[in-house]
């Protein structure tokens, strides 16, 4: 029973003769999964989000860069300006996400490695979270910025001059004399490319292994 259940999850194994004859057909899904893993690992060391803040007193602008596990740049200076309108420190945002960011990415890489050995539709469960990750990152970013912008400290020095607002997660934004430009970082772009690669990988995965799955199911039905 255990072996049967495992077979249903992992799917059929490829006959060596068939593998030799159709190496491109069976090799393409694995290659694409490997490419996606490499893209994710590289993205781990690159910025996922960047923001530039411009104001008359800062002619060169202030810059902040967000990685999956840390914030860099002029964060303290930006926090100082935000303090006057009652916004919390940016270091208080996404603490859990930044603390677990590296482990999540490593987990994604392991999931894609496992997906290469699963020749059934269950591989989608391993791949789907990685495909959705760039969107989840941006949604989480937007929710944190929305939370900070709509929950300003009423006792802040300039609380009466600024109404609660939702900072822009991507593109141009600003309030008063301050103008911001938020853009995706190279890391997020690579993660998005990895998502596209994985969608293509699922297509070739189905094309390669669905006939084998049907053949296995047919053989099991006859044996029963």
Would 58 be classed as within a structural domain? yes
Radius of gyration of the chain (CA): 24
For residue 128, the model assigns a pLDDT of 97
> Greater confidence, 5 or 222?
5
User: What digits encode the pLDDT tens for the residues 158-189?
Assistant: 878 888 899 999 999 988 788 999 999 999 99
The pTM score is 0.90
Would 218 be classed as within a structural domain? no
Nearest-5° angle of CA 5, CA 11, CA 12?
120
Q: How confident is the model at residue 2 (pLDDT cuts 50, 70, 90)?
A: very low
Would 79 be classed as within a structural domain? yes
Would 216 be classed as within a structural domain? no
Question: Region 45-67: what's the mean pLDDT?
Answer: 93
Would 6 be classed as within a structural domain? no
Would 5 be classed as within a structural domain? no
Question: Region 144-160: what's the mean pLDDT?
Answer: 90
Which segment of 8-12, 109-113, 196-200 scores lowest on mean pLDDT?
8-12
Q: How confident is the model at residue 1 (pLDDT cuts 50, 70, 90)?
A: very low
User: What digits encode the pLDDT tens for the residues 95-141?
Assistant: 999 999 999 999 999 999 999 999 888 999 999 999 999 999 999 99
For every residue of the chain, which 3-state class applies, written as one string? CHHHHHHHHHCCCCCHHHHHHCHHHHHHHHHHHHHHHHHHHHHCCCCCEEEEEEECCEEEEEEEEECCCCEEECHHHHHHHHHHHCCCCHHHCCHHHHHHHHHHHHHHHHHHHHHCCCCCCCHHHHHHHHHHHHHHHHHHHHHHHHHHHHCCCCCCCCCCCCCCCCCCCCEEEEECCEEEEEEECHHHHHHHHHHHHHHHHHHHHHHHHHHHHHHHHHHHHHHC
Would 114 be classed as within a structural domain? yes
For residue 220, the model assigns a pLDDT of 63
Q: Which domain holds residue 163?
A: 28-209
For residue 174, the model assigns a pLDDT of 82
Chain position carrying tokens 């060391």: 45
For residue 33, the model assigns a pLDDT of 97
Over 90: is that where the pLDDT of 29 sits?
yes
Would 12 be classed as within a structural domain? no
Instruction: Give the total number of structural domains in the chain.
Output: 1
**Chain mean pLDDT for the chain:** 90
């Amino acid at each position: 029973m255990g072996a049967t259940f495992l077979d249903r999850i992992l799917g059929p194994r490829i006959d060596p003769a068939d593998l030799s004859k159709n190496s491109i057909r069976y090799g393409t899904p694995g290659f694409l999964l490997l490419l996606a893993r490499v893209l994710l690992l590289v993205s781990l060391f690159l910025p996922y989000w960047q923001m530039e803040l411009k104001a008359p007193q800062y002619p060169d602008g202030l810059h902040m860069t967000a990685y999956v596990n840390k914030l860099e740049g002029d964060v303290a200076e930006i926090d100082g300006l935000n303090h006057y309108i009652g916004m919390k420190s940016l270091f208080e945002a996404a603490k859990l996400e930044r603390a677990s960011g590296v482990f999540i990415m490593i987990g994604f890489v392991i999931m894609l490695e496992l997906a290469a050995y699963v020749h059934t539709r269950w591989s989608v469960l391993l791949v789907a979270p990685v495909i959705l990750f760039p969107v989840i990152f941006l949604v989480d970013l937007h929710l944190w910025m929305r939370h900070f912008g709509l929950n300003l400290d009423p006792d802040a020095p300039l609380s009466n001059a600024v109404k609660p607002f939702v900072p822009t997660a991507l593109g141009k934004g600003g309030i008063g004399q301050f103008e911001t430009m938020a853009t995706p970082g190279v890391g997020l772009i690579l993660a998005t490319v990895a998502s596209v690669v994985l969608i293509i990988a699922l297509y070739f995965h189905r094309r390669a292994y669905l006939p084998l799955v049907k053949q296995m199911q047919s053989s099991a039905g006859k044996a029963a």
